[in-house]
Amino acid sequence: MSEAVIPAAPVADTHEPLPLTGERTVPGIAEENYWFRRHEIAYARLLDRCADKTVLEAGSGEGYGADMIAGVAAGVTGVDYDEGAVAHVRARYPRVRMIQGNLAALPLDDESVDVVVNFQVIEHLWDQAQFLRECLRVLRPGGELLISTPNRITFSPGRDTPLNPFHTRELNAAELTELLVEAGFTVTEMLGVHHGASLKALDAKHGGSFIDAQIERALAGEPWPADLTADVAAVTIEDFDLRAGDIDASLDLVAIAEKASAGRARR
């Protein structure tokens, strides 16, 4: 699988950034860089699956990922419920066709796209099963759904409700697989995002958990120590591993699911 990253098209600095509310990650903020890169790795590692395809990003957020996809795809449509995000993407990333819409009723025709991308979104949705049925509907036979979500086991350990107030239901690998299969998909790969060697060293440096060190400073509402800010700002996607092994210990889940081809569906 190719690991090349297609850079976003140059954009003017006159566009106002989306506010950082905790609901989505945005590029260009030093203290947010760890989470941004942790999300970006799914785009970078799966980008080749979008090459020359008609792609829908369902829940496109700030739009940086849809713009990455636009560098290799035949065409990209983004759908987001938030009107401010839609306006932002239209202004900042003009090669993405943006539509304001509900992910539980996607504003696209049946069998109209080759790939649906849904990264770090399904945990925000109230009706996850309905959304996945909509993904199946808009995909052409043989098309793929690329989906990522925080691993409940490591993201909200030992809790029945998510730590993140913007999350409705978090999933482990078995639960995500069950949802996808019930919606009519075949899961072809289940991968996990892990800290690589450099991030493991930062875990040790910052008291055992680089993530907890960031969360503690954010909750304190005080300026970050210079060394923590510098370490966070220096993180790149190469500091993360994406692999199939040790899935329950992963930070995020990345699933590749396929809609049956026409011939297979008739059997």
Segment 51-65 mean pLDDT: 95
Dihedrals φ, ψ of 25, to 5°?
A: -100, 150
Question: The CATH number of the domain where 166 resides is what?
Answer: 3.40.50.150
pLDDT over 80 at 256, yes or no: yes
- Does residue 234 form part of some domain? no
The number of domains in the chain is: 1
Integer CA distances (angstroms), 134 to 61, 96, 105, in order: 19, 21, 7
Dihedrals φ, ψ of 246, to 5°?
A: 55, 45
- Does residue 13 form part of some domain? no
Distance CA 58, CA 66 (A): 10
pTM comes to 0.87
Containing structural domain, residue 157: 30-194+244-259
Asked if 261 contacts 142 with a C-beta cutoff of 8 angstroms, the reply is yes
- Does residue 4 form part of some domain? no
- Does residue 107 form part of some domain? yes
- Does residue 123 form part of some domain? yes
pLDDT score, position 16: 63
The model's pLDDT over 118-167, given as tens digits with 9 standing for 90+, comes to 999 999 898 999 999 999 999 999 999 999 999 988 866 666 665 666 67
The model's pLDDT over 230-255, given as tens digits with 9 standing for 90+, comes to 999 999 999 999 999 999 999 999 99
- Does residue 230 form part of some domain? no
The 113-119 sheet, strands edge to edge = 97-100, 75-80, 54-58, 113-119, 139-150, 252-258, 186-195, 240-243
- Does residue 9 form part of some domain? no
